[in-house]
Every structure is written in structure tokens, then in C-alpha cells.
Amino acid sequence: MMKSRSTHVAGRRVKQACPAVLALLGCCGPVAAAGPHDIEFVSEHLPEVAMDHRYAALPVWPSETEAPWQFTAQAGYSATRTGELELSGPTFSMAVHRSLHPGWKLSGFAFFDDLQFSGRNDHRPLDVGFAANVPLSLPADAVFKDLQGSAREYGMGVSLSHAIEDGWLGGWRWTAGALWQQLDLSNYSSPYMVLAGPSAGAIGTIDYSLNWSFTTPFAGISRPFALGRWTLEPRFLVAVPLPRRGVQGRITGDAFDLSGNSADNGHSKHYGDPSPVIGMVVRYEPWGLEVDVGAALSEALLEPLNHEGIDQNIALSVAWQF
């Protein structure tokens, strides 16, 4: 059967269009497989996990020595990934410890964590809980083209620690205190494009920037075990950032620009979840150098269970006490 002229022309146009389409896809880059959790869910969990890393590395565990003054300098690395999105960077803290009575020490400390957001072509649902009446059909499959911004966390605090000598807890020590911390998520945003549904093709920007402070009480317990020049010390600490807050956000698109807070919009407050952290420090006493191998392991294995949607989690911490 002879093909009609119109069919022939249509086929030729499709063939001519294919290279252009492929070139466009190549420019866009590969799109990751869709994540099960929407962008608002994981946008909250990335900074929250970084806050947990900070609590795990608080310099509030002075070694047992008779020196009236001690100092701690700590450096570390924090990296959390979900899909193609990542938050990573260095962490720093310092502390001064003063002996009050035998077994009692008062500590003052400060910290600064400088993390960066990154990630391209992350494919997951777009949904918005911080604002009502968004003129898009949501939730909808979307691609988030270029996550940017920084997460800077800084603060200071005080703690009191006590080494228990007698009783059934002899050999253990506890620490308790409070800190003030500032969480600054700056330019925490990504362009988006809706891929499916009635709003397919819609483009805009989603932004989760915020600047919040928390007052965080904490308490923990540890048990040093001396092994010659080495000390092994398992630790457990719980921190409770207050007050709890909702997700702050802004979404823009064709002829709309909406912002708000999920708590004000009738949803739960999730920022500021209680944070239990587990550590196991290995310290070389002649140098006063310690590595928290336990926090690295527990954050890698347990944090993805505490914060769903986290695919990879790294928390490294090295401290020098002198």
C-alpha cells in the first residue's frame, strides 16, 4: 500500500525532531529515579540530621584529670544525602573546662558548622504544606534541577559534668547543660519542573530558607575504660531543641508567589525533634587525641531509621584535649 503524502511528511518531521529532543535531554542531564518522599519531607530532614551531628560532637566530655583547666578543640565532617540532594561540610567547636571539686567540672563551649546544599536533577514528588491554594495540581511528580544554598549553625553553651566514684554507677560519669544555637538556611532553594499530571510543564522555584534560634537542654552519660595508654568511652546523650517549629517555605511559579509556615497552615511542627545520639570514643591519652568511631557508626546506621528518606549519612569527629 502506498503511503499518503501527509503521512510521509509527518514521518519526516518526527525524524528531524528526534535529534533536537535528544540534544535537549542531553543538556538537561540524566534524571534520577523518583524518590518515595516529597521535597518538603526531605528538605526538613537534611538540616535536622545535621543538627543531630552537632549534638553528637558537643565538646562536653572533659577527660578525667586533676589539672585545674582543660581545653578541647574539635573538628569534623558532616554529610547527608537523599536521592541526588546532599548537605555536607566541616564542623568546628572549642571548649574550656574548669575543675570545681574532685570529680566535678564546669565547661563552656562554642561551635560553628559551615555546610553547603548541592544536587541536580533530583526526581521526587512536589508537595507544599506551608501554603494553601497553590495553583498547581499537587502532589505531582517533579524534577528539582539545582539545589543551592548553605546551612550555617553556630552557638554556645555551658555544661556540668561529674565522675561518679561510688555505688552501682561507680566509674560512670554524667554531663548536663544547655546551649543556644542559631540555624541559618540561606538560599536553600531549587528550580522545579512538574513532569506529570494536570500541571505538567509548570516551572518555578521552591525555597526553604529560614533563620531560627533554639534553646537546647541536653544530658548524657558515659563510661571510660582505661586500656594502658588508650581509653574507650561509650557515650549516650539526648538533646531537646526548643521551641519546635514548622517548615518555613516559599514557592513561585507562573503568576504566583506564596510563602508560609506548615504549622500555621494546620500541619505538625517537626523542626526540633528530640535527638538521642550514641558515641564510642577512642582516645590516645599521651596526646589527648580522640576519635568518635561510635557516632560515625550510629549516625550511619540509625539516623536513616530516625529520619526516613535519608540514603547516606556520615558524621566524623576528631577532638584534641590539652
Mean pLDDT of the residues in the chain:
85
In a domain, 133, yes or no: yes
What pLDDT sits at residue 128?
Answer: 92
Confidence of residue 35 (pLDDT cuts 50, 70, 90): low
User: Do 297 and 280 form a contact (C-beta atoms < 8 A)?
Assistant: yes
In a domain, 209, yes or no: yes
Confidence of residue 5 (pLDDT cuts 50, 70, 90): very low
Task: Look up residue 281 and give its amino acid.
Answer: V
In a domain, 263, yes or no: yes
| H helix or E strand, kind and range, residue 24 | helix 5-28
In a domain, 21, yes or no: no
Q: Which of 43, 21, 114, 122 is nearest to 75 (CA)?
A: 114
User: Do 128 and 99 form a contact (C-beta atoms < 8 A)?
Assistant: no
Segments forming the whole domain that contains residue 223:
35-321
For residue range 214-255, list pLDDT tens digits in order. 999 999 999 999 999 999 999 999 999 999 888 899 999 999
In a domain, 29, yes or no: no
B/e letters for 164-203, b = 16+ CB within 10 Å, e = fewer, are: eeeeeeeeebebebebebebbbeebbbebbbbeeebeebe
Averaged over 11-30, what is the pLDDT?
Answer: 37
Rounded distance between C-alpha atoms, residue 89 and residue 190, angstroms: 19
Global confidence as pTM: 0.85
What pLDDT sits at residue 9?
Answer: 35
Confidence of residue 88 (pLDDT cuts 50, 70, 90): very high
Averaged over 269-281, what is the pLDDT?
Answer: 85
**What is the CATH classification number for the domain harbouring 239?**
2.40.128
In a domain, 3, yes or no: no
In a domain, 205, yes or no: yes
| H helix or E strand, kind and range, residue 279 | strand 275-284
**67 or 209, which is more confident?**
209
In a domain, 5, yes or no: no
Number of separate domains in the chain = 1
